[in-house]
């Protein structure tokens, strides 16, 4: 179900983007990756409830720009481990988060950790 809604969202985004870029603008704007638009939804989908105090999580919070940027190196390290490695996150899940999502978090870092 989740995959389908993500897919629909992507289709909608592509449609909107296609329409927008068919205007006479000469310069294509490549949007930067931001915490609010790109990173927060991924973390919320993969790292809840354990790291979300308002969802009953008791681990270190990853529910805000501040908390995620403060632990970013450790977040990136852990999500790229093999699921059988000690310290792998998301804990207790059989698979890594999608490579495309890991790439989003890396790009966010490369783009300068924009909040919004």
Would you tell me which residues interact with ligand HEC (CB under 6 A)? 46-47, 50-51, 59-60, 62, 71, 74-75, 78-79, 87, 89-92, 97
Among candidate residues 42, 36, 13, the one with its CA nearest the CA of residue 105:
42
CB of 43 to ligand HEC, least distance (A): 6
CA distances from 105 to 20, 58, 73, 108 (A): 26, 23, 11, 5
Taking the least distance from each CB to ligand HEC, the nearer of 40 and 97 is: 97
User: What's the rounded Cα separation, in Å, for the pair 63 and 10?
Assistant: 24
Q: Which two tokens stand for residue 78?
A: 């852990």
35 exposure class (CB count in 10 Å sphere: 0-12, 13-18, 19+):
buried
CB of 89 to ligand HEC, least distance (A): 3
CB of 74 to ligand HEC, least distance (A): 4
Taking the least distance from each CB to ligand HEC, the nearer of 33 and 90 is: 90
Taking the least distance from each CB to ligand HEC, the nearer of 21 and 83 is: 83
């Amino acid at each position: 179900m989740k995959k389908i809604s993500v897919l629909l969202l992507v289709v909608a985004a592509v449609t909107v983007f296609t329409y927008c870029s068919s205007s006479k603008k000469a310069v294509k704007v490549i949007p930067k990756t931001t915490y609010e638009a790109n990173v927060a939804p991924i973390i919320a989908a993969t790292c809840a409830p354990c790291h979300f105090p308002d969802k009953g999580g008791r681990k270190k919070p990853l529910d805000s720009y501040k908390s995620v940027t403060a632990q970013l190196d450790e977040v990136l390290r852990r999500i790229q481990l093999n699921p059988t490695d000690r310290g792998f996150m998301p804990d207790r899940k059989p698979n890594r988060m999608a490579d495309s999502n890991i790439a989003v978090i890396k790009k966010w870092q490369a783009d300068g950790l924009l909040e919004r």
